[in-house]
Amino acid sequence: MRKWNFNRSVHRLSVAGAFLLTVAACAPYAAAQHIETSTFNQSPKRPAEDPKAVEHGKQVYAQKCASCHAADLRGTDTGVNILRSQPALTDHGNDHLTPIMLGQWTGMQSHKVDISNADALAVGAYVRSMLALIGSQGRAPYDAMKQPNIVVGDATTGKATFDKTCGSCHSAEGDLKGFAKKVASPKLMQAAWLRGTYLGATPVVVTATVTEPGKPAVNGTLIHIDDFLVTLKVDDGTQQTFERNGAVPKVVVKDPLDAHRNLLPKYTDKDIHDITAYLVTLK
88 within 8 A of 80, measured Cβ to Cβ: no
Q: Given the DSSP bridges, would you call strands 218-225 and 207-211 parallel, antiparallel or unpaired?
A: antiparallel
CA dist 169 and 245 (Å) reads 36
CA distances from 129 to 60, 91, 254 (A): 14, 11, 52
By CB under 6 A, name the one of 256, 261, 281, 283 that touches ligand HEC: 256
Residue 121 within binding range of ligand HEC, rule CB under 6 A: no
From 17-25, 43-51, 139-147, 174-182, give the range in contact with ligand HEC by CB under 6 A.
174-182
Query: Is 67 near ligand HEC (CB under 6 A)?
Result: yes
- The edge-to-edge listing of strands for the beta sheet with 239-243 is 239-243, 229-233, 218-225, 207-211, 250-254
Residue of 111, 139, 177, 250 interacting with ligand HEC (CB under 6 A): 111
Span of 42-50, 97-105, 209-217, 227-235 interacting with ligand HEC by CB under 6 A: 97-105
User: Judged by CB under 6 A, does residue 259 bind ligand HEC?
Assistant: yes
Q: Could you tell me where the beta strands, DSSP code E, fall in the chain?
A: 207-211, 218-225, 229-233, 239-243, 250-254
In whole angstroms, the minimum distance from the beta carbon of 161 to ligand HEC comes to 7
| 62 is a site residue for ligand HEC (CB under 6 A) | no
d(CA 273, CA 149): 11
Q: What is the amino acid identity at position 263?
A: L
Work out which of 123, 130, 131, 277 binds ligand HEC, going by CB under 6 A: 123
Give the nearer residue to ligand HEC in terms of CB position, either 11 or 244: 11
Closest CA to 107 of 15, 22, 23: 15
Backbone angles phi, psi at 35, to 5 degrees: -55, -45
Q: Does 110 bind ligand HEC (CB under 6 A)?
A: yes
Residue 86 binds to ligand HEC (criterion: CB under 6 A) = yes
Among 56, 83, 87, 232, binds ligand HEC (CB under 6 A): 87
Which residues does residue 230 pair with via DSSP β-bridges, in sequence order?
225, 242
**Residue 206 lies near ligand HEC (rule: CB under 6 A):** no
Interface with ligand HEC includes 125 (CB under 6 A)? Answer: no
Residue 196 is a binding residue for ligand HEC (CB under 6 A): yes
CA distance 178 to 188: 15
DSSP-derived 3-state class of residue 169: coil
DSSP secondary-structure letter at 58?
Answer: H
Which residues sit at the interface with ligand HEC, rule CB under 6 A? 64-65, 67-69, 78-80, 82, 85-88, 97, 100-101, 107-111, 113, 115, 123, 127, 162, 165-166, 168-170, 175-176, 179, 192-193, 196-197, 201, 204, 256-257, 259-260, 263, 275
